[in-house]
A and B are shown apart, each in its own frame.
Chain A
Amino acid sequence: MSAEAPNPIEQFELHRYFPHQIAGVETSFTNASLYMLLAAVGVVLLMVVATSRKAIVPGRFQALAEMLYEFVANTVRQTAGKEGMKFFPFVFSLFSFILISNLIGLIPYTYSVTSQIVVTAAFAVLVILLVTAYGFYRNGFGFLKLFVPHGVPLPVLVILVPIEIISFLSRPVSLSIRLFANILAGHVTLAVFGGFVVLLLAAGGVYQALAPIPLLAIIALYALELLVAFLQAFVFSVLTCVYLNDAIHPGH
C-alpha cells in the first residue's frame, strides 16, 4: 500500500483464493469464506470445546460460554416468550456468528463478513421467511391479523392495513441495511482516519505534528466500533425475536 493512496474501500474487496464453480454457480473460496469459517470456528471453540469438560465450577471460557447462553436465552425469553425458546438455537447461532464476525472484523488487516450486504440480506431474508412460515404454520390465515390492528374502526383500517403491510415488507430491508451500514461505515471511518495519519506523515513539516490527532480519533472510534459490533449483533437478534413474537402472537 503506497503512502499517498490509502483506499478505505479496499478492505471490502473479495479475494478469490480458490476460484471454483459448480453447475454455473460460483463457489470460489474467498476471504469472505475464510472469515465466515473463522467466526464459526470461534463460536464452536467457545461453545463446544470450552464446555467439553462440563464442569460444575466453570473455567474462564466455559463461564463465558454460559454467560453468552444465558444472555441470549434471556433475550429470547423476554422478547418472544416461552414459546419463542423454540427458536433459541437459531437466534443464538445468529447472534454469536454476527458478534464474532463483527469482533474479528475489528482486528486490523482482517475482513468483515457483516460488511457485505449480501450476507446481512441473506440473514434478514432467512429471518423473515422463518417468521412468515412459522406465522402461517402456527396461526393459519390468522397470521394475517398481524396486518389488522385490533379495535380499529374500518375507515382507518383502509389506510392502516397497507401501512402495516409495507412496514412488514420493509423489515428485511431495514434489518439487513442496519447491520451492513453500521459495520461498513465504521470500517470506512477507521480507514479514512488511518489514511489521514498516513497522508499527514507523508506531507512532512508542520503536518507531521498533526498526525497524532487522527490517531487519537481512531482510538476513540475503535472503542465505539467495539460497542457497535456488540450492539448490532444484539439489535439483529432482538429484532429477530420481536418478529418471531409477531409470528407467535399475531393478534397484537
Chain B
Amino acid sequence: MAIISSAYAAEAEQEAPETHESVGAPGGEAHHEGGFPPFQTENFAPQLVWLVLIFGFLYLLMSRIALPRVGGIIENRDAKIAADLDASREMQAKAQAAAAANDENLRLRREEAQTIGRDAQQKIANETAAQRTRAESEASEKIRAAEARIAEAKSAALANVEGIALDAAASIVEKLTGAPADRAKLAAQYKAVN
C-alpha cells in the first residue's frame, strides 16, 4: 500500500477534492482516492501484469484445448449427421429396391398361380369331357343293345301273336263251320290283312 508516493497522493487529493466524501470507504483505502481511479497511473502496473498473465493463459487454453475441442465436436456432429443421412438414404434405396423386387415376385407368382389354375381347369374340363363322351358312348351302346333286344322280343312276340291269331281264327272257323279250318289259307289271309 505504500507504493504510491505520498507526494503524488497529496497532489491527487488536491486535484480532486470532490472525492473526499469517500474517505470512509471500506478497507481503509483512504489514501487511494486521489483523482479518478481509472486514470491513476500507479494502478496501471499491477493490472497490466495480471492481465497479461491471465489473458495469456486464457489464450493458451482456448487455442490449445477449448477451440479445437469445440470445433471437433461440431465437425464430428456434422460428419455424423451426414453419415447418418447417407446411411438412411441408402437404406431407403434398398427398401425401395426390395419393395420393387417383392412386387415383381408377387406379380410372377400371381401369373404362375393363374397359369396353374387355368391348366388345372383345362385338365379337369378335358377329363370331364372325355369321361362324358365315354359314358355317353357306353350308354348309347347299351341303348342300342337294349333296342335290339326289344326289337327281337317284339318280333318274337309278334310271331307268337300270329300263331295265336291263326289258332283263334282256326278255332273260330271250326266253331262256325264245323269243319276243320284250312291253316294255310288262314295264314295267307292273315298275311293279306297285315
Contact = CB atoms under 8 A, between A and B. Distances in A.
Given A25-B45, A40-B54, A119-B47, 16 more contacts: A1-B26, A26-B3, A27-B46, A32-B50, A37-B50, A47-B67, A48-B61, A48-B69, A56-B77, A62-B73, A65-B70, A92-B62, A93-B59, A113-B51, A115-B38, A117-B38
Minimum-distance CB pairs A-B, first 3: A89-B63, A47-B66, A33-B50
Contact of A89 (B54, B62, B73, B77): B62
Contacts of B69: 48, 51, 54
Nearest to A44: B61
Contacts of A25: 45, 49
Given A2-B24, A7-B22, A66 B38 contact: no
Contact of A33 (B39, B47, B71, B80): B47
The dominant DSSP class at the A interface is helix
Contacts of B65: 48
Interface residues of A, number: 54
Contacts of A54: 69, 72-73, 76
A99 B1 CA distance: 31
Contact of A30 (B21, B47, B59): B47
23 contacts: A9-B36, A12-B36, A13-B25, A14-B47, A19-B2, A25-B45, A26-B3, A30-B43, A32-B47, A33-B54, A36-B50, A36-B51, A40-B57, A43-B58, A43-B62, A47-B70, A66-B73, A90-B63, A93-B55, A96-B58, A97-B58, A116-B37, A117-B38
Contacts of A96: 58, 62
A184 B59 CA distance: 25
Contacts of B62: 43, 47, 89, 92-93, 96
Given A29-B50, A40-B55, A93-B62, A118 B70 contact: no
B40 interface: yes
A119 B32 CA distance: 19
A209 to B, nearest CB: 26
A36 B61 CA distance: 15
Contacts of B77: 56
A58 B76 CA distance: 12
A9 B189 CA distance: 173
Given A13-B32, A14-B37, A89-B59, A69 B19 contact: no
Contacts of A51: 66, 69-70, 73
Interface string B52-93: 101101110111011101111110110010000000000000
Interface string A1-37: 1100101011011111001010001111110110011
Contacts of A69: 67, 70-71, 74
Given A2-B24, A15-B29, A36-B50, A26 B74 contact: no
Nearest to B43: A14
B58 A40 contact: yes
A116 B43 CA distance: 9
B156 to A, nearest CB: 113
A180 interface: yes
A83 interface: no
A122 interface: yes
